Structure 1
Amino acid sequence: MYRPLLGITMGDPAGCGPEIAVKALADSRVYERCRPLLIGDVKVMSDALRIAGHPEVKINAVSSPRDGKYEFGTIDVHALDLVDMDSLVYGKVQSQAGEAAFQCVKKAIELAMSRDIDATVTNPISKEAINLAGHHYSGHTEIYAEFTRTRKYTMMLAHGDLRVVHVSTHVSLREACERVKRERVLDVIRIANKACKDLGIEKPRVGVAGLNPHAGENGMFGREEIEEIIPAIESARAEGIDAIGPVPPDTVFSKALGGWYDMVVCMYHDQGHIP
């Protein structure tokens, strides 16, 4: 069985990412399914072994994915010398931690784009820290979009048969409402439909959540559904996409879990993340 080579970012070295990575890679079942390559700082990962209580695990520093052992008991680290351990403070937002986290993500993307790894997995970053380091992104999604040169994109979250995509993510709720525009909603419906097909769903059903309570109740509680969301759904249906909605946000996810929809288009961050 082919074991895909996964590039796993260290995350913020002052946060929980390195410890999470160590605990995951201390499980032999991981190595039965993939070849994990940790992208990060050897010094940080060595200290994470101490913190997580796994002194028996060894670090193998490599400069290329080709040099990894990918054997249980050894963590292969694509070594980036990024962190001064003498000045690193665990649990504190700091510029050098943000810089290190950002560089790990950038390297993971580069390795994937050059086909040196099959996929990427990211550990947590501090958005505040990476911005403090001078990299002005609101999250992983935006970093990936820029370095993969992707113009139209959205975040997708999935658990079993519950899948959601977002019209907006890391912005204020006030700005999120302002971003509910026909063209953006239509773009996300198209992306949702294609993602379902890429996952092997031949005839996707895309449920589109409303923005307002009761999906606006025909304009009683807001007009975004009438002026922006419904026109986007109608355009999508004209393209042959089975888009349904707008569905009241308080019922759309239970319906999705019940098999009514293969994907739900959500209007803002918490609407999609909470379910």
Structure 2
Amino acid sequence: MTEALPPLALSLGDPAGVGPELIARCWAEREERQLPSFVVMGGVEVLRAAGAGMPVVEVASPTEAAHAFATALPVLPLPVAAVSYTPGQPCADGARLALASLEQAVRSAVSGTVSGVVTGPVNKAELAKIGFDCPGQTEFVAGQCDVPEGDAVMMLAGPSLRTVPLTVHCALADVPGLLSPDLLQRRIRITARALRDDFAIHHPRIAVAGLNPHAGEGGRFGEEDVRIITPAIAALRADGMNVTGPHPADALFTPRARARYDVAICMYHDQALIPLKALDFDEGVNVTLGLPIVRTSPDHGTAFDIAGRELANPGAMAAAIRMAGDCAARRNRR
């Protein structure tokens, strides 16, 4: 594991969502789930309530948190208004706490006082009400790291599958106009580098999905596969990369097909997320590639409807913590 490294920083997420209870469960099950040490940024009273009597301790630094982790969930206090634990009832103060927690977690990772960041689930609409103007946490983290938005690549990873959506938060009608050979090449190269550096896959096998049914069938069902995707793949293969496609997306996620690649590059959000969530919903992790820091997140939302009811599964949060620790350890060994 990664105990020689600084702890990971966990952002709380929206305190009215499932994030606090999942964080508490992960600390309580830290040994059986083989989790590295972590410190939560803010929300001590929320976590005490969500943990139902579980030991929670305020710490002054990540170093202190690493020593406290064995006996209590360590929390670094933040200078924001206290928020009561009201599951399923988001509010402006809760959104401010979520944002302050995210900001502190990223600052700590950039400064090197923590080994990586795991972000709890937030509600974009609630954050927008307090002036947060980023499309999502991924774009915010990239900006804080001075990484161009286009070079921060979202990968969804689970035990059965890894996928990368080339376009994310946009209308489906806009996708064809956003795709280009340059976009494909740039993001596939970032993905390949991350698979080597953070996941120890030294010769990654990369499968590229087509945009149209049957990958366009030679232009009969749309010309984007021939005009945009095929030339990008040819250029990457000319550089010695193991990239195949464009593959018809309806056959790319069968068990037999998945055995032939390490990551599937998809053209749009749902093409990547539907198979990942169908196969690995309770263990799916959102990993941001191309950053100077390690950042992961459970691949689910705030789930306000079940928050506080002991129905949320901690598997994805635990997987995100474990994956962040493993990636940080591999970077440390480089």
TM-score normalised to the size of structure 1? 0.89
CA separation of 1:2 and 1:219: change in aligned 2, threshold 3 A = closer
- How do 1:28-107 and structure 2 match up within 5 A? 28-29=30-31, 33-49=35-51, 54-55=52-53, 57-68=54-65, 69-85=67-83, 90-107=87-104
Residue aligned with 2:219, SS: coil
Determine the C-alpha separation between the residues in 1 that align with 2:116 and 2:82.
Answer: 29
Cα distance in structure 1, aligned partners of 2:32 and 2:104: 22
The CA distance in 2 between the partners of 1:206 and 1:245, in whole Å, is 9
Partner of 1:184: 183
Amino acid at match of 2:232: A
Q: Which residue of 2 is the match for residue 127 of structure 1?
A: 124
Taking a change above 3 Å as real, the CA distance of residues 100 and 189 of structure 1, as seen in their structure-2 partners, is same
CA-atom RMSD in angstroms: 2.1
Please state how far the C-alpha of 1:148 moved relative to its aligned partner.
0.9
Provide, for residues 89-122 of structure 1, a one-character-per-residue CA deviation record: whole Å limited to 9, x for no partner: 5424433322221221111111111111112111
TM-score by length of 2: 0.75
Give the structure 2 partner of residue 245 of structure 1: 245
2: CA distance, partners of 1:82 / 1:139:
21
CA distance in 1, matches of 2:92, 2:238: 49
For structure 2, the 5+ residue unaligned runs are 276-334
Gap change, CA 1:175 and 1:98, over 3 Å in 2 = farther
- Report the Cα distance in structure 1 between the residues aligned to 2:157 and 2:257, rounded to whole angstroms: 12
CA–CA distance in structure 2, aligned partners of residues 85 and 40 of structure 1: 10
SS of match in other structure, 1:109: helix
Which has the larger Rg?
1
Question: Which one has more relative contact order, counting CA pairs under 8 Å at least 6 apart?
Answer: 2
2:290 corresponding residue in structure 1: none
SS in 2 for 1:155: strand
Q: Which amino acid aligns with 2:111?
A: S
- Flag the 1:158–1:28 CA change in 2: closer, same or farther, 3 A: closer
Q: Once structures 1 and 2 are overlaid, which stretch shifts more, 141-150 or 91-100?
A: 91-100
Q: How many residues in Structure 1 have an aligned counterpart in Structure 2?
A: 269
> Could you tell me which residue of structure 1 aligns to residue 196 of structure 2?
197
Indicate how the Cα distance of structure 1 residues 74 and 7 shifts in structure 2: closer, same or farther if over 3 A, else same.
Answer: same
* Distance change in 2, residues 1:232/1:76 (3 Å): same
d(CA) in 2 for partners of 1:177, 1:237: 23
CA distance in 1, matches of 2:195, 2:30: 32
Aligned to 1:9: 11
Q: Contact conserved, 2:15 with 2:90, CA < 8 A, in 1?
A: no
Matched with 2:20 is 18
